[in-house]
Amino acid sequence: SVSAAHLLRLHQRFQLLDKDSSGSLRSEDLEAALSENPIGVRIVGAFFQLGQEMVDFPSFVRILAHFRPTEKNRTGDGVQPDPGTQMKCPSSVAFQLYDRDRDGKISRTELLQVLREMLGLQVTEEQLQSIAERAIQEANLDRDDTICFDEFRKSLEKVNINHKLSVRFLE
């Protein structure tokens, strides 16, 4: 579902990123590309499955294809990922961004870490904690002091995630 020209371009990009020409990318390669991004490391981590060290080209394309804008634009975010492929919906990618240990919940510490990375130099520790506290308060419906995936989605139900997380480059 990706055009050949795009594939070619992505392949070139893949090779460019692949510094040691091993045919697959390690996390360091990707992180190097995202050096300026405050949460670059996390993003890379979110892309990799647990325990996976390398990303080969098909997986690379698949990951980027997560961010293709979908056709149904006015509905809520597509909940069911394609069962056949490994594709996840964008919101689960975002969720994994926070939830590094993949336990299915975002705890306060995890949230704090993300906030610190995003805002670290500009906001003090207390402020970060207040923000994190407030965020958990708002989203937390089952009173367990963490945010599970459903709560995460619910807190963002007004935000059309598919719109937000789509980049038009794989037409």
Of 19 and 164, CB closest to other proteins: 164
Residue 143 binds to other proteins (criterion: CB under 8 A): yes
Three-state SS across the chain? CCCHHHHHHHHHHHHHHCCCCCCEEEHHHHHHHCCCCCCHHHHHHHHCCCCCCEEEHHHHHHHHHCCCCCCCCCCCCCCCCCCCCCCCCHHHHHHHHHCCCCCCEECHHHHHHHHHHHHCCCCCHHHHHHHHHHHHHHHCCCCCCCEEHHHHHHHCCCCCHHHHCCCCCCC
Of 84 and 168, CB closest to other proteins: 168
Residue 8 binds to other proteins (criterion: CB under 8 A): no
Binding site for other proteins (CB under 8 A): 9-10, 13, 16-17, 30, 33-34, 37-40, 43-44, 64, 67, 69, 73-74, 93-94, 97-98, 111, 114-115, 118-119, 122-124, 126-127, 129-131, 133-141, 143, 145, 155-156, 158-159, 161, 163-169
